[in-house]
C-alpha cells in the first residue's frame, strides 16, 4: 500500500487527536512542537493545520499556534442550513426509490441502527454510544447516493455535527426524542412518502438547531 502524503498523515493524526479528545479546549498548541512529535516537517504540517481550520476543527492564532474551534451561534446556523438542504433532499429522493432493492438494503441497515439505538434509551451512561448511532443514521442517508461531492460536503461538517449533537443529547429526554424523530424519518422514507420524509427531516433539523442554540447560550 502506498504511504499517505505527509500532509495527509499530519491531517489524520491531528484529526484523531481532536476526535479522541486528546487536545483540550482553551489551550494553544504549538505547530513546531507537534510537528516534531509527529516527525513531519513544518510545511506539510502547516498544510494540515490550514485544512483542519477550513473544516472547522481548529482556529489558527497567528504567531502562536492553534486551538480547538469554539462553536458559535453562526456555526449552528451555518451547519443546520447546510444539513437541512442536504438531508431533506436525500430523504425525499430515498422515499422515491423506496421500492428498489438498493433502498431496501438501506432500510435494513437503518432498522438495525434504530434497534441498537433503542437498546440504549434506558441507560444514560451510554450517551456516547447513542451518539455514534445517531451520526451513522444520518451519514448512511447521505452516502446512499454514492455521490462523492455530497458525502465530502457532509463529512467536512461532521465534527461540528458531532459536537452539537453531543451538547443536545445530554438534555433530559433528548435521546428518547431523537430516537423517535429518527424512527419517523425512517418510516416515512420506507413508506415512500416524499412529503412526510421532507417534513420529518426538516422538523428534526429544526428541533436540533433550536436545542443547539439553547445549549450554547447556557454554556
Q: What are the pLDDT digits (tens) for 79-113?
A: 999 999 999 999 999 999 999 999 999 999 999 99
Predicted confidence (pLDDT) per residue in 105-144, tens digit: 999 999 999 999 999 998 878 899 999 999 999 999 999 9
Packing angle of the helix pair 31-38, 42-54 (nearest 10 deg): 110
Reported pTM: 0.87
Give alpha helix (H) positions in 97-193: 101-118, 127-143, 148-156, 158-169, 174-190
DSSP-derived letter for residue 3 is P
- pLDDT band at 42, cuts 50/70/90? confident
Block residue for cell numbers 456555526? 75
Would you call 170 helix, strand, or coil by DSSP? coil
Structural domains in the chain plus CATH codes: 6-68 (1.10.10.10), 73-218 (1.20.120.530)
The C-alpha atoms of residue 212 and residue 170 are separated, in whole angstroms, by 11
Residue 99: closest CA among 195, 199, 191, 200: 191
Residue 23: closest CA among 78, 65, 74: 65
pLDDT mean over 49-76: 91
Predicted confidence (pLDDT) per residue in 141-199, tens digit: 999 999 999 999 998 898 899 999 999 998 889 999 999 999 999 999 999 999 999 99
Predicted confidence (pLDDT) per residue in 20-41, tens digit: 888 888 899 998 888 888 888 8
- Which pLDDT score, from 0 to 100, does residue 1 have? 61
Cα separations (Å) of 103 from 46, 109, 145, 191? 42, 10, 10, 11
- Which pLDDT score, from 0 to 100, does residue 193 have? 98
Give the torsion sign (CA, 178, 183, 184, 185).
positive
How many beta carbons lie within 10 A of that of residue 17, not counting itself?
A: 15
Residue 104 β-bridge partners: none
Block residue for cell numbers 443547539? 212
- Which pLDDT score, from 0 to 100, does residue 23 have? 87
Amino acid at each position: 500500500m502506498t504511504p499517505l502524503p505527509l500532509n495527509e498523515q499530519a491531517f489524520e493524526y491531528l484529526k484523531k487527536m481532536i476526535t479522541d479528545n486528546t487536545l483540550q479546549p482553551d489551550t494553544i498548541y504549538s505547530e513546531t512542537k507537534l510537528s516534531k512529535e509527529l516527525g513531519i516537517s513544518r510545511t506539510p504540517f502547516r498544510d494540515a493545520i490550514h485544512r483542519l481550520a477550513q473544516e472547522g476543527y481548529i482556529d489558527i492564532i497567528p504567531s502562536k499556534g492553534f486551538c480547538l474551534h469554539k462553536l458559535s451561534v453562526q456555526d449552528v446556523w451555518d451547519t443546520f442550513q447546510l444539513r437541512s438542504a442536504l438531508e431533506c433532499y436525500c430523504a425525499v429522493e430515498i422515499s422515491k426509490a423506496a421500492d428498489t432493492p438498493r433502498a431496501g438494503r438501506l432500510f435494513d441497515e437503518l432498522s438495525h441502527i434504530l434497534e441498537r439505538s433503542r437498546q440504549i434509551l434506558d441507560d444514560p451512561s451510554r450517551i456516547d454510544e447513542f451518539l455514534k448511532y445517531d451520526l451513522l443514521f444520518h451519514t448512511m442517508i447521505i452516502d446512499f447516493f454514492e455521490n462523492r461531492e455530497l458525502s465530502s460536503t457532509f463529512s467536512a461538517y461532521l465534527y461540528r455535527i458531532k459536537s452539537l449533537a453531543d451538547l443536545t443529547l445530554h438534555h433530559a429526554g433528548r435521546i428518547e426524542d431523537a430516537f423517535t424523530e429518527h424512527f419517523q424519518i425512517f418510516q416515512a422514507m420506507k413508506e415512500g412518502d416524499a412529503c412526510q420524509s421532507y417534513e420529518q427531516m426538516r422538523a428534526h433539523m429544526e428541533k436540533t438547531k433550536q436545542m443547539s442554540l439553547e445549549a450554547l447560550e447556557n454554556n
